[in-house]
Structure 1
């Protein structure tokens, strides 16, 4: 074969090889281009995954359980705050006050603790049934672990009062009367803050105070106005209107200082007797989802900040004392520990 012919064949082979490589390269680029043209993972999907999950709550009425009779201090406060809260409840839902009187607030507290923590059954209570009563050993709960603290609404103290027509007109008169007679005093429930407070007075004075427990402040007040008992130890929001009207007469105030509206009534601290306060709060069952707890907290916080709130609290003689969930938890635990010491040292738990 001539050299010229060999060169021609080699050239043809090189050209064919280049054509094949070019074709393969084109095919590879086409494939790569096709892969890059596929739609990437949807940005909308990623955003949806990253978007914070929100809870649609409430979608039905919320039951606000109150462990005392209608017309009492806790009931009046609950209904007043619920009215303020109405415009702030999502989905135009409602909060319904449910009265469950019994055992000085223990029945309602235990009932709420046993509910599903979905937020539809919550509690408004004074601090006593949760921070004091368990130390007597006869409650279905022994500590605060069964509840989810949500928000504190008010903090008040107590008055020892008598009927406005009573011959006992002062604390000194009471002590004089107590030298020859036992003194029947009504409370909102057995083994309550009132029980401990009045035991402190008894230990200091030697007067024989006999507790007559009722299922709430309203029945106790009614018994006093009917002259069935000598005195009543009640939270200030319940008795202040009757002190103003003169239907009741105040003998002692259990705050740290004299009440600003009734400066003539002495404080227990002036006689060496410890002060006692009572906080009214909202809580739910243990393990309530944080999102649900926060929604309920915000409902009541907005109610407390409503333009009509100041007038409402003034009307029902309540002192606003906002504390968030953590603040309420700290407040209740502190009261729990103090009350435990008081009960143990007073001997009340053994009676």
Structure 2
């Protein structure tokens, strides 16, 4: 009976606009991804996907709407690694099993950036100063509990102690080292591409197992004695965990079509975040494994 009702609901889906909840403020990477995806999904779904920015608590405020709205496929949202990391750090009450991942559509390692005129022109110089002056250097981050925060805690364990300075507004965070409000920025390159192209920011170190192909001269943290990797910034489209499988399938098809489009390929290339989309059980496992990775690193 429930199964039949679920199939009937899917056959009529969608009949009205689908809200796209972006879990961070306007102008950031999650916002750009959510808006691009919403626009590209509209043609295959045949309805509009108006975007609502519900920022706060490292993305958890927006996910509360996703969890509390009906599980009928009319509320979808961005669920990104920053927020998953915050759960492992004890922020919010969400768990990976509270959501159904439609698709992981972007992924990129994060870097430490400084202003082009910074006195720290190499990661070695930056780390040496931080070691000699614990807590003096400030780092602009997306919030407490995120992998920004986790990475800084892991660096501190290795003797490189810097101060976390969270910014609610993405644009203010990106510009903070340029304006001298912080010494360093923790971010992925796609979100600050305009500042890199303008020569205003300089990447010093990447947190990945290998050097980034677009920035071959930037060393990995492991090369400098800090083996911090696996904390990549991935972004997904998700729904409530109880959303009927038939509706999930319709949304998966819409996202797959969007990702295959030339518009999306241009977008992800410009943000250094193109990946082969991850869907189904593999996507759920990716979220769960990341949650456990962060928890294990914090407890090590």
Same fold (TM over 0.5): yes
Query: 1:330 Cα deviation (Å)?
Result: 1.0
Q: What's the counterpart of residue 161 of structure 1?
A: 113
1:3-50 superposed Cα distances (whole Å, 9 cap, x missing partner): xxxxxxxxxxxxxxxxxxxxxxxxxxxxxxxxxxxxxxxxxxxxxx9x
Give the 4+ runs in structure 1 shifted more than 6 A: none
1:148 to 89, 100, 106: 100
Listed one character per residue, the Cα deviations across residues 124-171 of structure 1 (whole Å, up to 9, x for unaligned) are: 1212312x2122334132x22211221111111101001122121111
Residues 184-263 of structure 1 mapped to structure 2, 5 A cutoff: 184-204=138-158, 206-263=159-216
Out of 15, 27, 50, the residue aligned to residue 59 of structure 1 is 15
Question: Normalising by structure 2, what TM-score?
Answer: 0.90
Answer with 245-254 or 302-311: which moved more.
302-311
CA distance in 2, matches of 1:242, 1:151: 29
Q: Which runs of 5+ in 2 are unaligned?
A: none
Query: Does 2:26 correspond to 1:70?
Result: yes
CA shift digits 1:61-112 (9 cap, x unpaired): 11111111111111111122223323222xx211122111101111111221
Name 1:331's counterpart in structure 2. 286
Which protein has greater RCO, CA pairs closer than 8 Å, 6+ apart? 2
Find the aligned partners of 1:104 and 1:342 in 2 and give their Cα distance: 19
Matches within 5 A, 1:1-351: 53=8, 54-89=10-45, 92-130=46-84, 132-141=85-94, 143-178=95-130, 179-180=132-133, 182-204=136-158, 206-272=159-225, 273-275=227-229, 276-345=231-300
Indicate the SS of the match to 2:52. strand
Q: Secondary structure at the match of 1:93?
A: coil
- Report the Cα distance in structure 1 between the residues aligned to 2:169 and 2:146, rounded to whole angstroms: 11
Query: How far has the Cα of 1:219 moved from its partner?
Result: 2.6
Cα distance in 1 between the residues matched to 2:12 and 2:298: 44
Q: Radius of gyration: which is bigger? A: 1
Equivalents in 2 of 1:279, 1:321: separation in Å? 12
Measure the CA separation in 2 of the matches of 1:260 and 1:216: 29
List runs of 5+ in structure 1 lacking aligned partners: 1-48, 346-351
Secondary structure at 2:36 match in 1 = helix
Give TM-score scaled by structure 1 length.
0.78
In the alignment, what sits opposite 1:40?
A: none
User: C-alpha distance in 2, partners of 1:278/1:316?
Assistant: 12
Residue 216 of structure 1: how far off its partner (Å): 4.9
Aligned CA RMSD, in angstroms, stands at: 1.8
Pair 183,171 (structure 1): closer, same or farther in 2 beyond 3 Å: same
The alpha-carbon deviation at position 309 of structure 1 amounts to 2.6
